[in-house]
Amino acid sequence: MSDHKLDASAGGASFCACSLDSSRRTLLAATAGVGAVAAAGVAVPFVASFTPSERAKAAGAPVEVDLSKLQPGEKMTVEWQGKPVWVLRRTPEMLAVLKEGADKLVDPESQAAQQPAYVKGIERAINPEYFVCIGICTHLGCSPSDKLKAGAESGMGAEWKGGFLCPCHGSQFDLAGRVFKAMPAPTNLVIPPHTYLSETRLLIGEDSKGA
């Protein structure tokens, strides 16, 4: 009778130990599974951070611009490669003043300027009516302000013919982005590669040769 109780007690102890071991294995497996899922959850956004966003991909892509609503004398700004690109539709009067005061400019023929080879002449344009340039001062990278109107109306004095003024250090540029002498900016405003898809469609960032 006594022996029977001992066997049952031993058997019970054995049964409990097995159940405990099984429970531990189940708990460890579950914990490992949760950990794996959590690790996967962390890994996904971490890996995704190395994947370029659509905006990042588009930042370097050519930008197509509709010029149909741009009126003579108006300027529009578009973004290309994270930079402001200006498109100024010049009036006949604006084009006429580009022929004046070459002796006041650092580089009137833009020989040292950064611009495509096909952009030539004092207008610095494929189509003289439309002036396309990167709106960043060549001194320290500020964005010049519009001073398009001639004379005192722009707050630049009676002799002013129209152009741009850098608010940071005072560099002045004419209506073709050419810098005046004795200014902090060393060179004329940069002209990006561009081409015309039609009379009113401009493609910035790519020229007709695919550059």
Residues 55, 69: Cα–Cα separation, whole Å: 26
Q: Which residues pair with 132 in a beta bridge?
A: 87
Q: Which residues pair with 65 in a beta bridge?
A: 202
Helices and strands (DSSP H and E) totals, the chain: 3, 9
E-strand ranges in 1-74 read 63-66
- What residue has token string 């991909």? 57
For residue 90, how many C-alpha atoms fall within 13 Å in the half-sphere facing its CB?
A: 26
Residues 71, 67: Cα–Cα separation, whole Å: 9
Whether the CB-CB separation of 210 and 193 falls below 8 Å is answered with no
User: Quick one: DSSP state of residue 163?
Assistant: E
139 is catalytic: no
Positions annotated as catalytic residues are 169
